[in-house]
C-alpha cells in the first residue's frame, strides 16, 4: 500500500492512499454496499469475502429489521476478520447522467458514514471511491463530491472527534484523479 498524500483538516488528517481496502487497519472501514446489503461484486464482495460470514449475518438481520439501506444512508456491522472495529455499509447512487440528484446522494453517503462513525466513537475511517465501479459514477466528478463532503465534515464541529479519514483508491488512475481534486479543492498541494 502506498502511504499517499495527506492534508490536515480541523483536528483530523485526510489521507489519500493507493491500495487494497481489505488490508487497511482502521476503527471503521466503509463498504460501498447495495441497498439490499446482500454483498455483491467490487469492494462490497471483497470486504464480505475478507471479513467472513459474520458480516453477511448482521446484514441479514438489518434487512429483516429495516428492509435494507436506502441510497445516501449508512448502517454499521461487525468487521468480522477485517482489521477494523466496525464495517460501515453505505449505498451510493447509480449514475443516471447527473440530473437525478446523484451528487447529493453521494455527498450524503460519505457524510452519513462519518456521522455513524462519530456516534460509535470510531476515530479512524477508511473509504473506497463510492459509486465509481458498477454504479458508473464518473471518477473525476465523484472525487470532487467525495472530497468536498469530507472536507466540509472534518472542518465542522461534528467532525472534531475524528483523527483520520482515508480514501483508499484501488488504481493508480483513480488515485491521480483524487490527488488532483484534493489539491484543487484545498487550494494547496497535498503534503507527501
Catalytic residues: 44
20 Cα distance to chain centroid = 13
The total number of residues shown for the chain amounts to 192
Burial of 166 (0-12, 13-18, 19+ CB in 10 A): buried
Task: Give the separation between CA 101 and CA 109, rounded to whole angstroms.
Answer: 13
CA angle 116, 63, 169 (to 5 degrees): 50
Task: Give the separation between CA 23 and CA 19, rounded to whole angstroms.
Answer: 8
Amino acid at each position: 500500500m502506498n502511504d499517499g498524500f495527506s492534508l490536515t483538516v480541523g483536528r483530523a488528517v485526510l489521507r489519500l492512499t493507493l491500495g487494497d481496502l481489505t488490508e487497511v487497519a482502521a476503527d471503521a472501514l466503509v463498504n460501498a454496499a447495495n441497498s439490499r446489503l446482500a454483498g455483491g461484486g467490487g469492494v462490497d464482495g471483497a470486504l464480505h469475502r475478507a471479513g467472513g460470514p459474520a458480516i453477511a449475518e448482521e446484514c441479514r438481520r438489518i434487512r429483516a429489521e429495516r428492509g435494507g439501506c436506502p441510497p445516501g444512508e449508512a448502517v454499521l456491522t461487525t468487521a468480522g476478520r477485517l482489521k477494523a472495529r466496525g464495517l460501515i455499509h453505505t449505498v451510493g447512487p447509480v449514475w443516471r447522467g447527473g440530473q437525478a440528484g446523484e451528487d447529493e446522494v453521494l455527498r450524503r453517503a460519505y457524510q452519513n458514514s462519518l456521522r455513524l462513525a462519530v456516534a460509535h466513537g470510531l476515530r479512524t475511517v477508511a473509504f473506497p471511491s463510492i459509486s465509481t465501479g458498477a454504479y458508473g459514477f464518473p471518477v473525476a466528478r465523484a472525487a470532487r463530491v467525495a472530497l468536498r463532503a469530507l472536507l466540509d465534515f472534518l472542518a465542522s464541529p461534528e467532525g472534531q472527534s475524528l483523527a483520520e479519514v482515508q480514501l483508499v483508491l484501488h488504481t493508480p488512475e483513480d488515485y491521480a484523479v483524487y490527488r488532483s481534486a484534493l489539491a484543487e479543492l484545498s487550494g494547496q498541494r497535498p503534503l507527501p
